[in-house]
Structure 1
Amino acid sequence: MNRLSIVLHTHMPYVEGFGTWPFGEEWLWEAIATSYLPLLDVLDAHPGKVTLSITPVLADQLEAPGALERCLTFLREIRPASHGLDAVDHPQLAAQIAYSAAHYESAVESLERRGDLLAVFAPHVSWTSAATHAVLPLLATDAGVRLQLETGIASHRRRFGTWDGGFWLPECAHAPWLDGLLEEAGVHLTCVDWSASLQAGPYTTEAGIFLVALDRAGIDRVWDARGYPSHGDYRDSHRLTERAHALWANDGQPYDPERGAARARADAEAFVASFDGPAVVAFDTELFGHHWHEGVTFLQRVLELADVAPVGIDHASDGPGEIAPSSWGAGRDLRTWSRGELAWTQRSAELAALGADPSDRALRELLALQSSDWAFLIDSATAGDYPRERAEAHYQNVFAALAGESSDELRNLAPELAKWAFVQPCVQASRRTGRSFS
Structure 2
Amino acid sequence: MSGDGRLAVVLHSHLPYVEGFGTWPFGEEWLWEAAATCYVPLLELFDRRADAAALTLSVTPVLADQLAADGVADRFRAFLDDVREDTYRRDIEGLEGTGYPREARALRTLREVYRGARAAIDARDGDIAGALLAHATWTSSATHAVLPLLATPAGLRAQVEGGIGAHRRRAGHWDGGFWLPECAYDPALDGALADAGVRTTCVDLTDLLGFGDRRHLQPWATAAGTTLLPIDRSLMDLVWSDGAMPAAAAYRDSHRRTTFDLLPWANDGTPWDPERARAQARTDAATFVRAARERLRDGGLAVIALDTEFLGHWWIEGPWWLEALLDEARGQGLEIVDADRAAAELRAAGRVAPLPEEARRTSTWGTPRTLWTWSGPQVAAMARRARRLELQVASLGSRATPRAWRELLAVQSSDWAFLRTRATAGDYPDRRSDSHAEALVAELHALGSAAPALRNLAPFLDGTAART
- TM-score for the superposition, normalised by structure 2: 0.88
Separation of aligned partners in 2, 1:66 and 1:26: 15
1:319-398 matches, cutoff 5 A: 319-321=355-357, 323-339=360-376, 340=379, 341-356=381-396, 357-398=399-440
2:325 matches 1:308: no
Aligned twin of 2:59? 54
Aligned twin of 1:219? 236
List runs of 5+ in structure 1 lacking aligned partners: 425-438
2:71 matches 1:66: yes
Aligned twin of 1:111? 121
Separation of aligned partners in 2, 1:412 and 1:381: 27
Partner AA of 1:51 in structure 2: T
List runs of 5+ in structure 2 lacking aligned partners: 330-334
Aligned twin of 2:33? 30
Which residue, 173, 178, 182 being the options, matches 2:189?
178
Q: Per-residue displacement from partner, 1:50-90 (whole Å, max 9, x unpaired)? A: 11110000000111000111001100111111112223432
2:335 matches 1:318: no
Percent of aligned pairs with the same residue?
Answer: 48
Measure how far apart 1:113 and its partner are: 1.0
Question: What SS class does the counterpart of residue 90 from structure 1 fall into?
Answer: helix
* Distance change >3 Å, CA 355–CA 123, structure 1 → 2: closer
Separation of aligned partners in 1, 2:84 and 2:145: 32
Residues 38 and 312, structure 2, Cα contact 8 Å, conserved in 1: yes
Question: What SS class does the counterpart of residue 191 from structure 1 fall into?
Answer: strand
1:219-258 matches, cutoff 5 A: 219-258=236-275
* Distance change >3 Å, CA 161–CA 423, structure 1 → 2: closer
Which residue, 170, 174, 181 being the options, matches 1:159?
170
Q: Per-residue displacement from partner, 1:28-50 (whole Å, max 9, x unpaired)? A: 00000001001111122134211
1:70-109 matches, cutoff 5 A: 70-91=75-96, 92=100, 93-109=103-119
Measure how far apart 1:286 and its partner are: 0.6
In angstroms, what is the RMSD of aligned CA positions? 1.6
**Segment drifting more, 183-192 vs 116-125:** 116-125
- TM-score for the superposition, normalised by structure 1: 0.94
Aligned twin of 1:431? none
2:161 matches 1:150: yes
Question: What SS class does the counterpart of residue 397 from structure 1 fall into?
Answer: helix
Measure how far apart 1:348 and its partner are: 1.1
Separation of aligned partners in 1, 2:316 and 2:429: 25
Separation of aligned partners in 1, 2:38 and 2:433: 27
2:320 matches 1:291: no
Separation of aligned partners in 2, 1:35 and 1:301: 16
Q: Per-residue displacement from partner, 1:190-247 (whole Å, max 9, x unpaired)? A: 1100125526131111111111111011111111011000111100112222322111
Measure how far apart 1:368 and its partner are: 0.6
Partner AA of 1:73 in structure 2: A
Question: What SS class does the counterpart of residue 167 from structure 1 fall into?
Answer: strand
* Distance change >3 Å, CA 409–CA 151, structure 1 → 2: closer
Separation of aligned partners in 2, 1:383 and 1:414: 24
Separation of aligned partners in 2, 1:187 and 1:165: 5
* Distance change >3 Å, CA 180–CA 418, structure 1 → 2: farther
Residues 100 and 245, structure 1, Cα contact 8 Å, conserved in 2: no
Aligned twin of 1:417? 461
Question: What SS class does the counterpart of residue 274 from structure 1 fall into?
Answer: helix
* Distance change >3 Å, CA 84–CA 284, structure 1 → 2: same
Residues 192 and 326, structure 1, Cα contact 8 Å, conserved in 2: yes
Q: Per-residue displacement from partner, 1:146-185 (whole Å, max 9, x unpaired)? A: 1001110110101111111110000000000001000111
**Segment drifting more, 189-198 vs 263-272:** 189-198
Separation of aligned partners in 1, 2:197 and 2:38: 30
Separation of aligned partners in 1, 2:338 and 2:429: 34
Aligned twin of 2:305? 282
Separation of aligned partners in 2, 1:134 and 1:243: 34
Measure how far apart 1:264 and its partner are: 0.6
Residues 186 and 361, structure 2, Cα contact 8 Å, conserved in 1: yes
Question: What SS class does the counterpart of residue 75 from structure 1 fall into?
Answer: helix
Partner AA of 2:390 in structure 1: E
Question: What SS class does the counterpart of residue 128 from structure 1 fall into?
Answer: strand
* Distance change >3 Å, CA 175–CA 418, structure 1 → 2: farther
Separation of aligned partners in 2, 1:267 and 1:281: 16
1:125-136 matches, cutoff 5 A: 125-136=136-147
Residues 143 and 422, structure 1, Cα contact 8 Å, conserved in 2: no
Separation of aligned partners in 2, 1:267 and 1:137: 36
Residues 144 and 422, structure 1, Cα contact 8 Å, conserved in 2: no
* Distance change >3 Å, CA 256–CA 408, structure 1 → 2: farther
Measure how far apart 1:401 and its partner are: 1.3
Residues 250 and 268, structure 2, Cα contact 8 Å, conserved in 1: yes
Report how many aligned residue pairs link the two structures. 424
